[in-house]
Structure 1
Amino acid sequence: MTNHIGDMQNSKAIIIFGANPASNHPIAMQHILKAKQLNGAKIIVVDPRFTKTAAKSDLYCRIRTGTDIAFLYGIIRLIRENKWYDKSFIADRVYGMDDIFKECEEYTPEHVEDITGCPKELLIQAATAFATADPGCLIWNQGWTQHTIGSSNTRLGSIMQLSLGNLGKPGGGCNILRGHDNVQGSTDLGCLADTLPGYYGLSEGSWKYFAKQWNVDYEWLKGRFKTKEMMEAKGFSLGLWIHGVLDKENQKNNADTPIKALVCIGNGISTITQTHKVKEALDKLEMVVFIDPFVNDAAVITTRNDNLFLLPAATQVETEGTVVNTARSAQWRTKVIEPLYEAREDQDILFDFAKRLGFYDQYIAGMGKGDKFKWPEDATDEIARSLKTIGMQGRTAARIKKHTENWHLFESTSLKGRGPVEKEYYGLPWPCWTETHPGSPVLYNINIPVAQGGMGFRNRFGLERDGVNLLSAEGSAPKGSRINGGYAEITAKNIEELAGVTLTDAEKKAVEGKNWKTDDSGILNKYAIAAGLAPYGNARARAIVWNFIDHIPKHREPLHSFRPDLVKRYPAVKDIPNHFRTNVRYKTEQDAQVWVKNYPINIVSGRIVEHMGSGTETRASKYLSELAPEMYGELHPNLAGKLGIKDGEMMWVYGTGEGKIRIKCKYSHRVDEKSVFLPQNFSGVWQGESLLGRYPDKTAPYGSGESSNQVTSYGFDQQTSCPETKCSLVRIERA
């Protein structure tokens, strides 16, 4: 998220794709409504379903699921044709926009209407309202990311903002609303299959850097892996781990070893695609452990008879430490009560595991105080010291606590503090380069100095490409910068020239061979910021990503497309071998059959306001379950009539795989006549059979229902492997 939630109040237009903040992010929605009421902002919603957010919009555009890229190219074409783009911003700070303008040519309003189903008049109105406003804010959520081309969705949305010069300014930006608190924090700390903490890669150099930060021997660390090659290879992702259990072909990508055990801590794994395959994998594993405050629904789905363990974890009010919100700001959670009954705090469970597995001393060594560390303060300071790539050095436990204790002294639309936190931004949003840096609430803002949160775009992909300079142009540096244009990332070799300083012999020795990402001394950052330089350099944002499958974003029809006539023109990519250790089908799956013949109804899925995530916690609430007690599917009355299903009657929904669910029909005009809306927040019923008797005594939820992901189709993002829950076809019959 480049800006922050309160900053939306500074917008003149807000366009929302694949998100429903009125239901899923009510706190964010209040800022959107304030922008409309106090700042005159136009609200534009692009969504397959008429949501509660759409009800508050000035303009609603209904599109077919999986066609966002076509719609975006339609907007970009209108931006180009009407010369609404920011010519100087593109010339000075963007690489590759000509290729985007060339790609958008075929997406005329008429062609976009054919692909998306949205009338061309609405496309033109949306483009006009958004492109002529200054500044304009883009918002998205999982309705964009959970597609086979989800990474292309987010890229092209960002490119649209680049074309309008809407990045690096208050009220603008690219803003993803995370599903719940600390999603951002978990990714920052490396809870991904392809990075180490702080988004460091998996190369030998990165592992050696962290061996030093963790105060362990690199050779010992390497010895924890079967081979060095596996140490430096992507792991199984959340969406694909089941294939490391079920498929022998994929186990070859895992050093010829099947996954034999699973420890699941705080993750609703029943919410990924093809839940029936998750059950199959859970049943086959030798051991499964769930660590949660409530019973994980997947523990009830599995029918295994042994080696299934449920460990009760403490809730947030029974533990302490930092969480990071969607806007990169850290907040300190203070323990309210000690854990009740047998529940234990997460770290105590993990420390116990480490002791029993024989590496406790190495596990805690990074805190540097032997067994006398103070939790969680010392762990927080270890994170601040180690994660230099995203500028965490200034986010010490003491500073974060001070902000949380003085939260009332910060202004919501700018995050600026006053009194004891004057000249700092709430939660020290990263990058926060030093212990005196205020944090950076708006990324890429060159209108303020680096020392006050300013920066250009990161220099990450070299200095030139095909003879074109990748550094930003002269005159496009942060205010007060010693270098008025672009410059490379800061290293020991260039710091003296770029910052205009002469290092002492002691300083040279301290930083020798280092760059800003690996310098523990802080010398490089200190001199860079004093010279008004962002440690990561100042480059052009790239619209062309040459190391991705699609160098520029491409519209590709969903694997299970509602429009087989368009599949030939916009096919899926070729199958990808060893994609997060899994051989993933794309073109093969798309061409397996004409899916719409047997599965003629399109899924629109999402969350509802009464429940959160998988609903594991909220369905345990009597009062929230009274508001939304059971699973249902929204059908347009005309479609339901054709199927012979009355409002309130039960119906069977069959997915393209082996899954099926029995749910109640709910008449609704929110969906079109070719779709069904399925909430993602239910479990406790399996293909018509109640599972409530499988919960341990007195732990069954008050609300239960079929999991919608039993019928979601096979599909994973071609770059990130994020499961595709947003483009599936089903068949519906009266029960």
Structure 2
Amino acid sequence: RGPGMNPSTIKTEVFMLPCCVSVEKEGSITNSGRWMQWRYQGPKPLGNSRADGDIIMELGFKLKELYKKEGGVFPEPILNLKWDYVTNGRYDPHKVAKEINGYFLKDVTVKGRLYKKGTLVPSFAYLQADGSTSSGNWLYCNSYTEKGNMAARRSKEDAVNKIGLYPKFSWCWPVNRRIIYNRASVDLKGQPWDKKDWVIKFVGAVRDGKYVSKKWIGDVPDGGWYPLQNPDGTMRKDAKYAYIMRKHGHAQIFGPGRADGPFPEHYEPIESPLTKNPMKNNNQMLNPAVSKFTSDMDVYVSASAKYPIVCSTYRVSEHWQTGLMTRPQPWLLELQPQMFVEISEELAKEKGIKNGERVMVDSARGSVECTAIVTKRFKPFKIMGKTVHQVGVPWCFGWRWPATGTEESANLLTPSIGDPNTKIPETKTFMVNVSKL
């Protein structure tokens, strides 16, 4: 349905599963700060759409039915798959959340306490290697316990250090620890380097210059061992270094296993205003291990007079992701009605562009018509003695809405290149030109 699209020439078969949007279903969301927050259903799903959990459960039941009826090379994993995450015939996100947390599968004594079969595991420290416990993801043990759904908590009470941890608001993996490796913030005796905005501190009892009881306050400590050193300066043998996921317990710059090498290195993006790497003794401009697409549409131009301006992409608070859910909302569309490009006052003067005028943003791959926003937020850079301008465009517009059909996506401009390890696309920097219409 897109502009210039002919389904008969597109050699891709598409099966559309009618999933509802996130606000129309219940479940959890985990942000980049590791906070798992529970969201409740707002409006009912539109039309014939359903929660993706409902669709996945139905597919699972159908697969089980077919394997039971027809067999197969290796049917046991499907036939024996635990697949009971429904209540009254509908997908139940609470049952899935509990499964991810984990259960005791039989009566078992752990840490001197008897746990009955079917009890939710209180934390990953209680998981057993003998098959007596389960967990869909050990990092999420402690997220849904016998005390309830930890992700659904909404207390505004802060921790004792008053730095904005809010430990009773939602839940954070692992074990509600808001800052991982937080023991790196204290000295050998467990006292914070930052006395004002401290994360954790050790307040265990002291006798004859030695710590005799364990007690950390503030955040959940990344391992509740004693500090490395007693108050009298003697070293302890029952302590561990802060970086517990490393055998040596220390942070490290050397990172083996990465596609582009174990040490951090600066490379320029595939499109750059520069002709040489600004880092001394490095003649390599582009990361040699980068994931690069090379079709006829994948054109890259660097250090070109035709495209001299750096462009970046971002979101706006009024629209969600690509804007598919929010652009049809008239009040949100009124706040952010159309595709725009932010340009500096200096670039606007150079180009003769006034605030609110329509302009064209061109890259080597495509063109997008925008409304110019002249702003102080952008300033020219001085890079290796050269003045370089930067502009910015948002993600949240596309041809489908508003009804004018002129508000194209920023994706028409961006290059198809990904980083070597995760293939995250390089959409935060590429070269364009801006011209007045």
Note whether the superposition's TM-score is higher than 0.5: yes
Structure 1: distance between partners of 2:373 and 2:85: 59
Shift in alpha-carbon separation, 1:599–1:402, aligned structure 2, 3 A: closer
Structure 1: distance between partners of 2:356 and 2:248: 59
8 Å contact 2:222–2:242 — kept in the other structure? no
Shift in alpha-carbon separation, 1:559–1:357, aligned structure 2, 3 A: same
CA deviation profile, 1:101-154 (whole Å, cap 9, x unmatched): xxxxxxxxxxxxxxxxxxxxxxxxxxxxxxxxxxxxxxxxxxxxxxxxxxxxxx
8 Å contact 1:559–1:572 — kept in the other structure? yes
Structure 2: distance between partners of 1:320 and 1:484: 43
What is residue 142 of structure 2 aligned with on the other side? 394
Matched, 1:719 2:425: no
Match of 2:305, SS? helix
CA deviation profile, 1:61-99 (whole Å, cap 9, x unmatched): xxxxxxxxxxxxxxxxxxxxxxxxxxxxxxxxxxxxxxx
Q: Report which of the two has the higher share of strand.
A: 2
What is residue 681 of structure 1 aligned with on the other side? 396
Structure 1 residues 116-265: aligned runs within 5 Å: none
Please point out which of 286, 289, 306 is paired with 1:598: 306
Structure 2: distance between partners of 1:336 and 1:653: 38
Match of 1:541, SS? coil
CA deviation profile, 1:659-707 (whole Å, cap 9, x unmatched): 11122223223223412221221112xxxxxx45xxxxxxx67997221
Question: Residue 643 of structure 1 aligns to which amino acid in structure 2?
Answer: K
Shift in alpha-carbon separation, 1:646–1:352, aligned structure 2, 3 A: same
Matched, 1:384 2:101: yes
Identify the structure with bigger relative contact order (alpha carbons < 8 Å, sequence gap 6+): 1
Please point out which of 518, 542, 545 is paired with 2:252: 542
Structure 1 residues 391-470: aligned runs within 5 Å: 391-396=139-144, 398-401=146-149, 404=152, 407-408=154-155, 410-411=157-158, 413=162, 425-432=168-175, 439-446=176-183, 447=201, 453-455=220-222
Shift in alpha-carbon separation, 1:650–1:535, aligned structure 2, 3 A: closer
What is residue 70 of structure 2 aligned with on the other side? none
Matched, 1:485 2:240: yes
Matched, 1:288 2:288: no
Structure 1: distance between partners of 2:3 and 2:241: 52
Structure 1 residues 282-321: aligned runs within 5 Å: 284-290=10-16, 311=18, 313=20, 315-316=22-23, 318-321=24-27
Shift in alpha-carbon separation, 1:382–1:282, aligned structure 2, 3 A: farther
Shift in alpha-carbon separation, 1:341–1:450, aligned structure 2, 3 A: farther
Matched, 1:344 2:59: no
Shift in alpha-carbon separation, 1:565–1:409, aligned structure 2, 3 A: closer
Match of 1:331, SS? strand
Structure 2: distance between partners of 1:704 and 1:621: 18
Structure 1: distance between partners of 2:141 and 2:403: 43
Q: CA RMSD in A?
A: 4.4
8 Å contact 1:632–1:678 — kept in the other structure? yes
What is residue 564 of structure 1 aligned with on the other side? 275
Match of 1:597, SS? coil
CA deviation profile, 1:130-187 (whole Å, cap 9, x unmatched): xxxxxxxxxxxxxxxxxxxxxxxxxxxxxxxxxxxxxxxxxxxxxxxxxxxxxxxxxx
Shift in alpha-carbon separation, 1:614–1:320, aligned structure 2, 3 A: same
Structure 2: distance between partners of 1:669 and 1:370: 53
Match of 1:640, SS? helix
Question: Residue 559 of structure 1 aligns to which amino acid in structure 2?
Answer: I
8 Å contact 1:445–1:454 — kept in the other structure? yes
Matched, 1:731 2:437: no
Shift in alpha-carbon separation, 1:553–1:734, aligned structure 2, 3 A: same
8 Å contact 2:228–2:236 — kept in the other structure? no
What is residue 67 of structure 1 aligned with on the other side? none
Question: Residue 50 of structure 2 aligns to which amino acid in structure 1?
Answer: R
Question: Residue 483 of structure 1 aligns to which amino acid in structure 2?
Answer: D
Shift in alpha-carbon separation, 1:606–1:356, aligned structure 2, 3 A: same
Question: Residue 407 of structure 2 aligns to which amino acid in structure 1?
Answer: G
Structure 2: distance between partners of 1:426 and 1:282: 51
Shift in alpha-carbon separation, 1:366–1:384, aligned structure 2, 3 A: farther
Q: Report which of the two has the higher share of helix.
A: 1
8 Å contact 2:85–2:96 — kept in the other structure? no
CA deviation profile, 1:398-443 (whole Å, cap 9, x unmatched): 5452663x523632746788xxxxxx744342212xxxxxx31221
What's the CA shift for 1:711? 0.6
Matched, 1:632 2:340: yes
Matched, 1:662 2:343: no
What is residue 192 of structure 2 aligned with on the other side? none
Question: Residue 630 of structure 1 aligns to which amino acid in structure 2?
Answer: Q
Match of 2:266, SS? coil
Match of 1:383, SS? helix
Match of 1:653, SS? strand
Alignment gaps of 5+ in structure 1: 1-274, 292-310, 418-423, 433-438, 458-472, 489-533, 685-690, 693-699
Question: Residue 374 of structure 2 aligns to which amino acid in structure 1?
Answer: Y
Shift in alpha-carbon separation, 1:336–1:646, aligned structure 2, 3 A: closer
Structure 1 residues 359-374: aligned runs within 5 Å: 367=82, 369=84
What's the CA shift for 1:630? 0.8
CA deviation profile, 1:625-677 (whole Å, cap 9, x unmatched): 111101111223443344344443322222122x1112222322322341222
TM-score (structure 2 length as normaliser): 0.63
Question: Residue 427 of structure 2 aligns to which amino acid in structure 1?
Answer: T
Structure 2: distance between partners of 1:607 and 1:403: 26
Structure 2: distance between partners of 1:670 and 1:645: 16
Shift in alpha-carbon separation, 1:639–1:416, aligned structure 2, 3 A: closer
TM-score (structure 1 length as normaliser): 0.40
Structure 2: distance between partners of 1:442 and 1:728: 34
What's the CA shift for 1:556? 1.2
What's the CA shift for 1:357? 5.5
What's the CA shift for 1:288? 2.5
Match of 1:348, SS? helix
Structure 2: distance between partners of 1:634 and 1:416: 35
Alignment gaps of 5+ in structure 2: 68-76, 103-133, 184-200, 203-213, 381-388
8 Å contact 2:228–2:240 — kept in the other structure? yes
Structure 1: distance between partners of 2:86 and 2:66: 10
Shift in alpha-carbon separation, 1:550–1:282, aligned structure 2, 3 A: farther
8 Å contact 2:361–2:433 — kept in the other structure? yes
Structure 1: distance between partners of 2:430 and 2:54: 41
What's the CA shift for 1:337? 5.9
